[in-house]
Structure 1
Amino acid sequence: MAFGDYPAEYNPKVHGPYDPARFYGKADVPFGQVKLGEIGAWLGRRNKTPNAVAGAVSRAWWRWQHKYVFPKRAGIAPFFQLTVASMTFFYLINYTKLKHHRNYKYH
């Protein structure tokens, strides 16, 4: 699959219009229904290639957009979510510099 191509599992005659938020691969047991003893086997069945991870991130992004950004009466929630996510990200990347500015009690 090259950049911009449809997934190999996608068949327009079966699936209809392409939805970037949908996984077109073979269906598996949802994580919420996996028993503790089956977690290792369930994780072993996951595709861990960089393309698969990028596809999962892309599907999550599209699902988030369909839920919060694209509705006709979208509220202010996506802006707050992006703000909090960016604040957390920049805090984490600057943590090594910020930890030197702590106030300590020396007694």
Structure 2
Amino acid sequence: MSVSRGIYEALAETGKYDPLYKPRVHGTFNPSRYYGKPDKPVMDVKMKELPSWISRRNYSPQGAARAIGRGFWSFKLKYVTCKNGNWKVLPILCIPVALNEARDHFHHVFDKRKYH
């Protein structure tokens, strides 16, 4: 019963603002911004601080979904919906399609049947 309740609560949070977002403090909501306490970037972390830095990450499904959403919105605002957009985004969006076509091509190249 607790599993279904957790799933229900996770689904109820979708489409809402980040719980750390406060309109009076942060102003207009930006979906690509992390509203939590800023932490040290991974490149500035020393080896002895690495375990404590990793333990401060949010590994819950909601945290992972929020991180993926922030990455998506960051990409979209930076490359797709900007004022002076360019064609750099096209190859990035075509990579999954090209990989799938290459996989299908090599699957059929090594197939020895005459008719498929």
Scaled by the length of structure 1, the TM-score of the pair is 0.79
Q: Residues of 2 paired with 1:85 and 1:43: CA distance? A: 30
Deviation at 1:42, TM superposition (A): 0.8
Counterparts in 2 of 1:40 and 1:19: CA distance versus 1, 3 Å: same
Deviation at 1:85, TM superposition (A): 3.7
Identity %: 32
Q: Which runs of 4+ in 1 moved over 2 A?
A: 85-88
Q: Which residue of 1 aligns with 2:63?
A: 52
Q: Which residue of 1 aligns with 2:4?
A: none
Deviation at 1:26, TM superposition (A): 1.5
Q: Which residue of 2 aligns with 1:105?
A: none
Alignment-mate amino acid for residue 36 of structure 2 = G
Q: Which residue of 2 aligns with 1:62?
A: 73
Question: Which stretch of structure 1 is more off in the superposition, 52-61 or 67-76?
Answer: 67-76
1:9 aligned residue (9, 15, 20): 20
Scaled by the length of structure 2, the TM-score of the pair is 0.73
Structure 2, unmatched stretches of 5+, are 1-11, 111-116
Number of positions where the alignment pairs a residue of Structure 1 with one of Structure 2: 99
Q: Residues of 1 paired with 2:97 and 2:40: CA distance? A: 33
Question: Which stretch of structure 1 is more off in the superposition, 11-20 or 40-49?
Answer: 40-49
The reply on whether 1:80 has 2:86 as its aligned counterpart is: no
